[in-house]
A and B are shown apart, each in its own frame.
Chain A
Amino acid sequence: MPRPNGAGGELHMEKSNRKPIIVVENLTARFGDHTIFQGVSFEVYEGEIFVILGGSGCGKSTLMKHMIGLYETASGKVMIHGVDITRADEKQLKKIRLDVGVAFQSGGLFGSMTLAENVALPLQEYTDLSPESIDLIVKMKLGMVNLAGYENHLPEELSGGMKKRAGLARAMALDPTVLFFDEPSAGLDPITSAELDSLIKSIRAGIGTTMVIVTHELQSIFSIADRIIMLDKAAKGIIAEGDPRWLKDHSTDPRVKAFFNRKVMEQEGRGT
């Protein structure tokens, strides 16, 4: 497996025969003259929970937004189901997007619509289902994220954790094969965060959805991740890839060790 990350990255991977659903090759992101990351390459396999982690400002969310085609890449490829979304036309991109769900950091719910209307929107737009069937699916999806009964509530009536779960229900409305989740634990208390982690695991166990999750919450990472990549702001790329538990115990990279052991790097701060 090629690893042209150019950041002296550390790789820990067991041989896998699984099929890659997402392939990122030599991806470079740039805003004006400022390069966020460059030469990033990795694969996401079918059915795994793949976590993109790193410190603040390292480009985690930017990488995710490149992977879902929201940002234009400076160079490189992002292949989802074999289609390079950086070069795909609108028709191909739409087809891919129907098979990809995205749950945003603050839910991304439409404030003027109830939860039921939010979840029903993609179903009404992209299926020929009858209103009764849509109603049933909406109830089922809200039930899956433990929001049964909240159909008629507006997003503003919900707590932060509930909004994230409702966003997840909407992202799952069309049963996508890949689900992206930006910062599921951000701004949540440890219990709500753990509930959300357990929800993510139960969805993967039940439906087998491949999940790409952006986070920097250590507890979440160890609880949900099958594999991780760690981005670093200074290296502008991946500095580690593999099983987070293995990396925590065996990594020799001081940046990776510092992250997992929550220590301040001496050259970056005032020392520990």
Chain B
Amino acid sequence: MDSQKTYNIHVREEGGKILLSLSGRLEIGNLHLFLSETDGLIRQMPPGSLRVDLSKVEYLDSAGALGLLQLEDRAKARSISLQFVNATEEAKRIMGLIDRRVLSMKPLASEKRSNIIEQIGEGSLRMLKDFVSIMTFLGDLLTALTRSFFHPRAVRLEDVFFYMKRAGVNGLPIVGLISFLLGLIIAFMSSLQLKQFGASIYVASLVGVAMVSELGPIMTAIIVAGRSGSAFAAEIGTMKVNEEVDALMTMGFDPTQFLAVPKVLAAMVAVPILTLYSDFFGIVGGLVVGVLGLDLTVYTYVQGTMSVISVTSILKSLLKAVVFAVLIAGIGCQRGFQVRGGAQAVGAATTSAVVAGIFLIVVIDSVFAILFTYI
């Protein structure tokens, strides 16, 4: 749709009145040109009357009709009385379809558009509501988990196994690969420094401590948050959109018990196992660097690792993993239950589940670091 001029304006005087004769096609591509050209003509005219002959207009679309009505309004503003003559029925119908009052109407205020102060206030209230919502959901979840503990038959075991497979078994390759590479990187980077002091043997203990105490649980939790936390949010969110959650409630089911508990229980089993798996592959990654790059034997490396890993440190690591699992699955489910609206809200809930999950993992890990140091 180019803006080539497809119309002509011919001006002449007829019995003391100015006659503006339009011909050709008045269409959308020419609107701007037509408005500026006619505006220039109107400005040169003295107050009086103007007749616009439309008999030679071959084509008129709604934008062309809009141009004619704008011409009339501009003429009126300069005290020129304008009259359209020889307009076809079609032209009259198109012009009749345009309500010229709406052209100067001010837009109604949108509830969604607010100033920065309001946005800060809304943001703070949203955070507060979010916090209350998370706490309420955690309360519901703990109640449901306690109930499940005393009434194990209420737990849908087939769902638990299904989610254990999805969150745990299906996550093995990516957790293994990332942990292996992580161990490899830590060993390689630390060896560059330790080599200078002839302390290459300590690479094994460094990798062992780092993986078991911190990186194993935290990396596993982050991967599970990205894979499964988001999937839980999307699944429950879609169920909300499809009114499946409402259907559960009307049938007397507790959605937390029915949908969230199997996911949380599955994560509580899968994440600690994945953490042990991650620890192992991280250590193997370090071992590869130790054996190939630092001339250590496999036996020396394993001895170095075993000397710093105790049963207590592994138990601490597993405790963290269980707490992270509850957080990841809980936040995923809570974000899913929060969905209102359509597909866009499901996408937002998924993103929010991952971001909030990772944030809480880091916060809780800091709390654990302090607790384990002083207790």
- Chain A residue with minimal CB distance to B92? A206
| A98 vs B1: C-alpha distance when bound (angstroms) | 9
A137 within 8 A of B: yes
| Complex-state Cα separation, A210 to B96, whole angstroms | 19
Q: Is the CB–CB distance between B103 and A133 below 8 Å?
A: no
Nearest CB in chain B to that of A206: its residue:
B97
The residue on A at minimum CB distance from B97 is A206
Q: In the complex the two chains form, is B113's CB within 8 Å of A152's CB?
A: yes
Q: Are B28 and A208 in contact (CB under 8 A)?
A: no
* A98-B1, A127-B29, A149-B105 known; A133-B97 Cβ under 8 A: no
**A57 CB-CB contact with B under 8 Å:** no
- When the two chains form the complex, which single residue of B2, B98, B106, B108 contacts A153, counting CB atoms closer than 8 Å? B108
Q: In this complex, what residue of A is CB-closest to B35?
A: A133
Shortest CB-to-CB span from B65 to chain A, Å, is 9
* Number of chain A interface residues as a range: 35 or more
With A207-B61, A208-B90 known as contacts, the answer to whether A137 contacts B107 (CB < 8 A) is no
Interface assignment of A168: CB less than 8 Å from any CB of chain B: no
Across the interface, B103 reaches (CB within 8 A) one of A116, A143, A207, namely A143
Contact flag A129-B61 (CB < 8 Å), given A143-B102, A144-B98: no
A175 near B97: Cβ-Cβ < 8 Å: no
Asked whether A206 lies within 8 Å of B28 as measured between CB atoms, the reply is no
Whether the pair A207, B31 counts as a contact (CB closer than 8 A) is no
* Contacts A156-B341, A175-B63, A205-B93; A140 near B102 (Cβ below 8 A): yes
A188 at the interface (CB under 8 A from B): no
Q: Are B93 and A127 in contact (CB under 8 A)?
A: no
Closest B residue to A99 by beta carbon equals B1
Q: Which residues 76-106 of B have a CB within 8 angstroms of A? A: 90, 93-94, 96-99, 101-103, 105-106
Shortest distance from the beta carbon of A18 to any chain B beta carbon, whole Å: 16
Residues of A within 8 A of B101 (CB): 143, 148
A102 beta carbon closer than 8 Å to chain B:
no
**CA of A136 to CA of B31, assembled, Å:** 10
Interface presence of A154 (CB below 8 A): yes
- Residues of B that sit less than 8 Å from A by CB: 1-3, 27-29, 31-32, 35, 61-63, 66, 70, 90, 93-94, 96-99, 101-103, 105-113, 341, 344
Residues of A within 8 A of B (CB): 98, 111, 114, 116, 123, 126-130, 132-133, 136-137, 139-144, 148-154, 156-157, 172, 174-175, 202-203, 205-208
Closest 6 A-B residue pairs measured CB to CB?
A206-B97, A143-B102, A148-B102, A175-B61, A128-B3, A149-B108
